[in-house]
Structure 1
């Protein structure tokens, strides 16, 4: 059965995403009027408008929307598995580890593996370490988060060491992976993210019922025929896949994985796991943040990772000061 509130929320978010996407295509150093944008999208625009929309703005819009959706979906999965609002890929160090491995493939450390594969490797290693260091608690409790924070700090330090020990040109090439940027993303990494999201999203939806059941006490979950260990493992694998591919496209994007699921949860019915709403909200946040970064100091561009961090930090403080970190409270 289709839950009416969820359907309405998802439709409204989808419509908002379309509007934000049109704004991203229209506004910038060169503002394209709505009529000109429509003509360009229909293939009848001027050469200048066609170049700006097709070659410059559409690729970064696609990269931003996919990255935001992937990070938000990974964050929603992680928060649900850990039953903790703070358990997101960025907080527990997956972003930093994926960034460190991606940077290592760029700065000439002798590693010739492509950044997407290296980012996935870093995300997997960080999760495995956090899971192992947290002991019997697995993905539950604060030990998992504390272990992830330590791994993230170490990964960040390793990234800075690599950047400070290579030639300036190599460091500049790796810089976007350290702050989060949608500028000049490679087609291959965006295609890999699109494929990963096309695979991960249906799999996440298939886990939805089990994820909702995980919010109940574990004995109740088991009595309903759900295997918590298998569900957590599947959710972790999906989170690793989505986070690693997103970082390979845009670098570490601050707090999208925290903000988007929280906003989606606020709009949705209590007790649900709003995977679709979280993904749509994440895409909206990324598109708007990228647009704001292009417009605020135009023609200078503020990397999208800095914009999301500035916008999301007050909200993170509000969560810490006003709400229990337990996802069920």
Structure 2
């Protein structure tokens, strides 16, 4: 009599190490994210170096690489030394520094307000700086570097007005939220109206200079402005990196953030203050470069494919400004456009895309 063999019991597949250890899975995700971020940062650094090289070495007046390094070491080459040291190199360096400032500012505003349209352009910080600059020209007859200080004062005054209006709208309950964005849009409109009214008071030549400045231009780049903006960034950017990271617990909610020992309200206020200072300093040096802060964060997020890195935002901003200045100055034949006009032409479709995406996300 034959006996049927019992089938072998089905053995479950061995669980993976990540399934057995959730902490290992979390570490693996973090390592993958860190690798993506490092690759994106390396790519952006190379892109910035390439943009700087193109801006300085090529164009209407080309400079060879050996001549460029000879000029940097102090050798005097007739014609080339002046063009490199007083024209091309200052514009490239100032553009990179301004882009870093705008990129960091945009990242801070967007993280605090959690709105893709939150940037110093939309909020009126840069328009306040433009109004301050034109006021310095029209009311006090200032020129040169003195205009930068009135622009800085205008940006800070705009920030104070936005904060006060936001607190008033919220009945004293704080400054962060959609009301802050609405107050900023209103302040931007007011600053634009004041700027237009003051331009009428200027002479023709002064009005042309003011119009060029308010468009956002690197044509007035000097080593003095580079030194002032560079010193500001040397202090503000490291602090911005730390503050940007300290905002992570706030995204978990007030209760969990408090449980982790974080102070969300303090971190948000500090981040907004830093964002204002960075945008004001950059605008005081170059004028309002339209939409650089707005574009930097979504581009950096797409490159890192994860959580936004403020360093990536800064590098994206630098690349955008240097490339925009090269395009406006060298690649359009006899037509020379300020860098702010080029960034505005590119940034307007980006803003519309962000609006459409935000509306779709709200209706989903």
TM-score (norm 2): 0.82
Corresponding position: 1:124 with 2:156: yes
Which secondary structure state, in structure 2, belongs to the residue aligned with residue 214 of structure 1? helix
Residue 66 of structure 1 corresponds to 97
Q: Comparing 15-24 with 34-43, which one deviates more in the overlay?
A: 34-43
Stretch of structure 1 that moved more, 32-41 or 139-148: 32-41
Counterpart position of 1:170: 206
Query: What is the CA–CA distance in structure 2 between the aligned matches of 1:326 and 1:261, rounded to whole Å?
Result: 18
Distance 1:217-1:14 versus aligned 2 partners, 3 A rule: same
Tell me, yes or no, if structure 1 residue 252 matches structure 2 residue 288. Answer: yes
String of CA shifts for 1:249-275, please: whole Å, max 9, x gaps. 1111110001011111122252x3411
Aligned to 1:195: 231
Q: CA offset at residue 97 of structure 1? A: 0.5
* Deviation for aligned residue 1:41: 4.6
1:281 aligned residue: 316
Match of residue 205, structure 1, among 234, 241, 257: 241
After superposition, the CA RMSD in angstroms is 2.5
Q: 1:52 aligns with which of 78, 83, 95?
A: 83
Summarize the Cα distance change of 1:138–1:83 in structure 2 as closer, same or farther, 3 Å threshold.
Answer: farther
- Secondary structure of 1:166's counterpart equals coil
The equivalent position to 1:218 in structure 2, one of 236, 241, 254, is: 254
Paired with 1:307 and 1:111, the residues of 2 have a C-alpha distance of 27
Q: In structure 1, what is the Cα distance between the partners aligned to 2:157 and 2:220? A: 28
Question: Partner of 1:19 in structure 2?
Answer: 50
Secondary structure, counterpart of 2:349 in structure 1: helix
Counterpart secondary structure, 1:162? helix
Against the structure 1 CA distance between its residues 6 and 232, is the aligned structure 2 distance closer, same or farther, given a 3 Å change threshold?
same
For residues 295 and 166 of structure 1, the distance between their equivalents in structure 2, rounded to whole angstroms, comes to: 30
Which residue among 334, 341, 355 is the counterpart of 1:320?
355
Residue 5 of structure 1, CA deviation: 2.6
Deviations 1:179-209 (A, max 9, x none): 0000023443332211111111110122133
Distance of aligned partners of 1:228 and 1:324 in 2 relative to their CA distance in 1, 3 Å threshold: farther
Match of 2:113 in 1: 82
Query: Helix, strand or coil for the counterpart of 2:123?
Result: coil
> How many residues get paired?
327
- Asked whether the 8 Å contact 1:138–1:144 carries over to 2, the reply is no
Report the alpha carbon displacement of residue 44 of structure 1 after superposing the two structures with TM: 5.5
Alpha carbons 1:83, 1:140 under 8 Å: kept: no
2:216 aligns to what?
A: 180
Whether contact under 8 Å (1:68, 1:285) holds in the other structure is: yes
Q: Render the CA deviation track for 1:58-111: whole Å, top value 9, x for unaligned.
A: 011111011111011101001101011111000010110111112211234367
How far residue 138 of structure 1 moved from its aligned partner, in angstroms, is: 4.1
Contact 1:60 1:183 in 2 (8 A): yes
Q: Mark the CA change 1:51 to 1:111 in structure 2 (over 3 Å): closer, same or farther.
A: closer
Is residue 2:260 matched to residue 1:228?
Answer: no
Unaligned runs of 5+ in 2: 1-29
Give, in whole Å, the separation in 2 of the partners of 1:169 and 1:155.
22
Question: Given the superposition, is the C-alpha separation of residues 42 and 114 from structure 1 closer, same or farther in structure 2, using an over 3 Å criterion?
Answer: closer
Q: 1:173 deviation in Å?
A: 3.0
Structure 1 residues 158 and 139, CA gap change in structure 2 (3 angstroms): same
Larger Rg: 2
2:321 is aligned with 1:290: no
**5+ long unaligned stretches in structure 1:** none
Equivalent-residue separation in structure 2 for 1:187 and 1:283 (angstroms): 18
Matches of 1:212 and 1:269 in 2, distance apart? 17
**CA distance in 2 between partners of 1:133 and 1:326 (Å):** 28
Q: Are 2:132 and 2:154, in contact at CA under 8 Å, matched by a contact in 1?
A: yes
Matched, 1:306 2:341: yes
Give the alignment of 1:85-96 within 5 angstroms: 85-96=116-127
